[in-house]
Amino acid sequence: MWSSIVVLLCFVSDGLSLGQQRVISFTDGPLQLAGNGVATLILSSTDFPGVIRAGQDLAADFGKITGKNLTIAQISTDQTSTTGPAIIAGTLGKSALIDSLVSAGKIDISQIQGQWESFVTQIVTSPVSGVASALVIAGSDKRGTIYGIYDISEQIGVSPWYWFADVPSTQQTNIFALDIHKTQGPPSVKYRGIFLNDEQPALTNWVKEKYGGVGYVSGFYARVFELLLRLRANYLWPTMWDSMFALDDTKNQPLADTYGIVMGTSHTEPLMRSTKEQTKYVSGSWDWTSNKANIIKFLTDGANRAKPYESLYTMGMRGSGDTASSTLTAASLADVVSEQQKILTSVIGNVSTIPQMWCLYKEVGGYYQKGLKVPDDITLLWSDDNSGNMQRLPIPSEVGRVGGAGVYYHFDYVGDPRNYKWINTIAPQKTWEQMHMTYNRNAREIWVVNVGDLKPLEIPINHFLDMAYNMTLFTSPNSTDTWLSQFAAMQFGAAVSDQVASLIDTYSHLAARRKYELLDSTIFSVINYNEADTVLAEWHTLVSSAQAIYDSLPAASQPAFFQLVLHPAKAGSILYDLYVSTAKNNLYAKQGRVSSTTYGTMATTAFQADKDLASTYHKLLGGKWNHMMDQTHIGYTSWQQPSTNNMPAQSTPAKSTNGAAGVFVDGGSTTLALPSISLYGPASRWIDIYSKGSSATSFTISSDPWVKASPASGQLTPPGLTSDQRVNITIDWSTAPTSTTTSKIIVTAGGTDFTVTIPLSNTALPANFTGFVESDKTISIEPEHWTSVTSTSKASYGVIPNYGRSLSGVTLFPVTISSQTPLSSPKLSYNIYVFTATTASITLYLGPSLNTGPSRPLTYAISIDDAAPTNAQYVPITDLGTLPSTWTQGVERQGYDHTTKHDVTVGAHVLNLWALEPGVVFQKIVADLGGVRTSYLGPPESMRV
């Protein structure tokens, strides 16, 4: 996309719009549209019905902002009796008034004429008799004009989510047009849309309640069509599982065309016939080899039905019910597509001018890889792995195809390894990384994303479609942060935009670490690295901050904030409360702790809180969104959703037979050995002293003088959490031995002495060393904290903020570079200091991306000091239609962990890394020198001196 002035939007109070060039002000401008009366909107009665309908929305949008709608004047010529300020909107060749302004040289259309979905907006003086000046919107085609109209709606302050997320409009007294000539050229991606899928139970139950129980009817779809156009989208795959878009309501298909939406069908529904129609209306089985004639008739009927309307035809075929066919082969698929193109030629005309796509999904991609020929005028629609990782993108030999390429992406899925359907778990940084690569690898014809129930995926939908519309605003890894601030300002105002953007960013980061459906009580460690407690504290901080913003907002803004920000934060926090409490209940019950019962109660409370929060959502705004939280999400035992949410199993502590108190230590050693502590590691370790009975018990701690315990004495008071005491152990390094030693800590509790040991290392570093230092036989590094980095004339490293499980991702740019080789490519170097001579296992935490070309597997190289680099390919090459053996781990953990072995001696070293392919994203580096313990996120970053 291009624009006469590329503006990466600085949000000010005037004329909010997401990343688009501003032409509206609330303070001053040469043309006042509202305040001193209200402008007239002049439309041509001969224009597209969709343009006139969008114009009616604009008139009502002015009413939302100023309290008074625009007056609409529809004319059939280039003359009008209107006087005073005006907005003139029309399409080239469809509006006589617009055409007359072009002929008179009053608007310049040279950059939009003949272009796809483009428009110009400018002030024109004396456009017609009686009108001194007007804001003119001229579109190159139907949607070009519609987008120009909705651009003004958004700039005056009407969010695209005014209905679907209840975002209110800020009232304004005055609205002015600025003297700016705006030219908005073709969108970056031609067809940009969503797929409503996996719609049972939430969306289906909501639609049944709100639309009379008759299914997905035109009243529902009208809302969806309008939302898509306000989001500058143009393409829709309708619901498929128990729906027939064209038949459930015969108004659906013509209404889409009236609005200006290009209709398609999913990857498994050829020639505009829905999945349900395949079983209901095909005479015989859905099997090409045995029932070809009947299927051809069925598909021909679909083409005839869709002929009057703008459609993008799905080609090819899969088995019944979105499954692989047991009888289709490469040869029979080629025959399927040949016959389908014959149908389109017979029904519509020249097939080369008809939009067509073939989604190479699952097994179909395998046929293509093995030589299946796809007609050049059909768009190749590449799919991700259903979890947001592209499996294939165009290679050089495919870039010149007439039909081009596109992508089918997922924000929702039903299938292995687990469904994810409940609430938003999408990290916008990950979406940016994949879509940035997709766009630059020339998959630009179609972007369609599976969005499940639509709600509550409002934010990732908006982000995805904004990128599809204008990728020039998303060239930088930092563009996600910019976009989040813009989005927050559009919905909640500039005054809180940075705070709200930070909340959304933090939520996305926490939620994307692992899908909610993949959580259980064993994922985050309650023993090592304080992991579970740290993660839980992050969630609690998020909720506290979100609640504070919610409480500060005007009442009118609170429902939207609840839906977009507060509800997901609370929902995620509750689930983590549930699983961490369950983990402690189960562990502590094994230890005989009295407190395990309290943690079981806390888990039960969290389970109820989850139910109560859903109820709050359902009661919002008088029940407007009842059923939207019906989706089950707790208690998965396989990939398929449970029929109901199921409380995780709880444990009951056995009655103590070995004393009134017990001791448990950081790291979980059964011999009560604490992880080692040094000047260069965590400042403290912990000891848990706990009651195993119903009576109060005192405890005392004694140790070497340099070992400090806080508290050093106290009382365990059952029941409840006061029956436990966590004691923090620190070291006074000024008096500790200047060597490696082990201290003993004696815990006396319940009449029993417990001996805890703690290894100490008080070894000084060389004065001139800078870098990361081993502690507890571990070195952990966030890759963006390199000691040095090199680049070449063709490539360099960039940081994707908040990408992955911990801090960020580091990857190569541009994504179009050729394969790299060590020593001649950009290098990341990290100074490390090692106290333990050993064979180190160095594990790279890498992004979950897959190989996107058949001959360029994702590979990195690693070396210590001047040793020869070791090449490490961590994603195996597989045939299209299959997934690598490590894929489940990559999806569940949101990344791959890959380990290489390296001999290290005591002293300073340099760890060198090279990414050898674009798409390799470094998330964390962990050197295990014999001390790494089990966790989900890995050891926290080591000290850097």
Nearest to 275 by CA among 248, 311, 252, 308: 248
- What confidence score (pLDDT) does residue 872 get? 98
- Would 4 be classed as within a structural domain? no
CA distance 3 to 20: 9
71 domain-assigned: yes
Per-residue pLDDT at 430 exceeds 50: yes
Residues ≥6 apart with Cβ < 8 Å to 918: 437, 811, 812, 813, 814, 815, 816, 817
On whether both 894 and 884 belong to a single domain, the answer is yes
CATH of the domain at 136: 3.30.379.10
Element (H, E) at 377: none
Give residue for tokens 């008080």: 762
The answer to whether residues 141 and 205 belong to one domain is no
For 103, other C-beta atoms within 10 Å of its C-beta total: 10
d(CA 84, CA 77): 19
Residues 683 and 596 placed together within one structural domain of the fold:
no
Per-residue model confidence (pLDDT) at position 833: 99
The verdict on 675 and 795 lying in the same domain is: no
> Which of 538, 462, 555, 451 shows the shortest CA–CA distance to 502?
538
- pLDDT greater than 80 at residue 15: no
Statement to judge: residues 454 and 498 lie in one domain = no
The mean per-residue pLDDT over the stretch 221-246 comes to 98
Q: What is the pLDDT of residues 86-136, one digit of tens each?
A: 999 999 999 999 999 999 999 999 999 999 999 999 999 999 988 999 999
Cβ pair 121, 423 in contact under 8 A: no
pLDDT at 14: 52
The Cα 155–Cα 486 span in angstroms is 12
Secondary-structure breakdown of the chain: helix, strand, coil percentages, each rounded to the nearest 5: 30, 25, 45
Residues 524 and 648 grouped into a single domain: yes
Tokens 């097994």, residue located: 363
Each residue of 376-401: pLDDT tens digit? 999 999 999 999 999 999 999 999 99
d(CA 937, CA 695): 38
Q: Give which of 449, 447, 406, 444 is closest to 426, Cα–Cα.
A: 449
CB atoms under 10 Å from CB of 283, counted, come to: 10
403-429: per-residue pLDDT in tens? 999 999 999 999 999 999 999 999 999
Q: Which residues of 415-435 are buried (b: 16+ CB within 10 A; e: fewer)?
A: eebbbbbbbbbbbbbbbbbbb
Q: Residue 701 is part of a domain; what is its CATH number? A: 2.60.40.10
Q: Is residue 716 part of a domain?
A: yes
Question: Are 748 and 642 part of one and the same domain?
Answer: no
d(CA 103, CA 932): 75
What distance in Å separates the CA atoms of residue 668 and residue 591, rounded to the nearest whole number?
11
Query: Is the same domain home to 401 and 302?
Result: yes
pLDDT over 80 (residue 19)? no
User: In this structure, what CATH number is given to the domain that contains residue 905?
Assistant: 2.60.120.1620
Smallest CA-to-CA distance from 878 within 389, 360, 391, 267 is with: 391
Average pLDDT over residues 165-189: 97
Same domain, 649 and 501: yes
Asked if 81 and 129 count as a contact pair (C-beta separation under 8 A), the reply is: no
Q: Which two tokens stand for residue 891?
A: 């999806």
Least confident of 211-220, 231-240, 432-441, 571-580: 211-220
- At 8 the pLDDT is 31
Q: Does 619 lie in the same domain as 671? A: no
The answer to whether position 939 is within a domain reads: no
The predicted pLDDT at position 5 comes to: 29
380 SS3 class: strand
Distance CA 31, CA 911 (A): 62
Q: Write out pLDDT tens, residues 43-88.
A: 999 999 999 999 999 999 999 999 999 999 999 877 777 778 999 9
Q: Is 10 part of a structural domain of the chain?
A: no
CATH number of the domain encompassing residue 402 = 3.20.20.520
- Same-domain status, 744 and 778: no
Assigned domain for 554 exists: yes
Name residue, tokens 């991700």: 384
Token pair for residue 337? 């597509």
Q: What is the mean pLDDT of the chain?
A: 96
Give the pLDDT confidence score for residue 411 in this predicted structure.
99
Longest dimension (CA), the chain: 101
| pLDDT tens column, 551-590 | 999 999 999 999 999 999 999 999 999 999 999 999 999 9
Integer angstrom CA distances of residue 481 from 6, 13, 919: 18, 19, 21
Distance between CA atoms of residues 753 and 744, nearest Å? 12
Q: Look at residues 135, 152, 184 and tell me which one is the last residue of a structural domain.
A: 184
pLDDT digits (tens, 9 = 90+) for 621-634: 999 999 999 999 99
Asked if residues 488 and 497 have their Cβ atoms less than 8 Å apart, the reply is yes
pLDDT, one tens digit per residue, over 478-535 is 999 999 999 999 999 999 999 999 999 999 999 999 999 999 999 999 999 999 999 9
Query: Which of the four pLDDT bands, split at 50, 70 and 90, describes residue 214?
Result: confident
Does the residue 85 lie in any domain? yes
- DSSP 8-state assignment for residue 352: G
- Last residue of one domain, picked from the residues 638, 654, 670: 654
Average pLDDT, integer, range 325-352: 95
Q: What are phi and psi of 264, to 5 degrees?
A: -135, -170
Amino acid present at 541: T
Radius of gyration of the chain (CA): 31
Q: What is the dihedral of CA 834, 835, 839, 844, to 10 degrees?
A: -40
d(CA 382, CA 362): 10
pTM: 0.96
Q: CA 105, 109, 114, 120 torsion: positive or negative? A: negative
Is 615 part of a structural domain of the chain? yes
- Letter string b/e over residues 505-523, b meaning 16 or more CB atoms within 10 A of that residue's CB: bbbbbbbbbbbbbbbbbeb
For tokens 């024109």, name the residue: 124
Residue 18 pLDDT grade (very low, low, confident, very high; cuts 50, 70, 90): low
Last residue of a domain, one of 128, 162, 184: 184
Q: What is the pLDDT of residue 881?
A: 86
Above pLDDT 90, what percent of the chain?
A: 92
pLDDT of residue 12: 36
Per the structure, how many domains does the chain have? 5
Note down the domain range covering 620: 477-654
Considering the domain architecture, whether residues 296 and 224 belong to the same structural domain is answered as yes
Q: Which residue has the higher pLDDT, 15 or 433?
A: 433
Percentage of the chain exceeding pLDDT 70: 98
Torsion of CA 269, 271, 274, 277, to 10 degrees: -120
Residue 88: beta bridge partners?
Answer: 42, 136
Spatial strand order in the sheet of 379-383: 262-263, 235-237, 191-196, 446-452, 405-410, 379-383, 356-359, 313-314
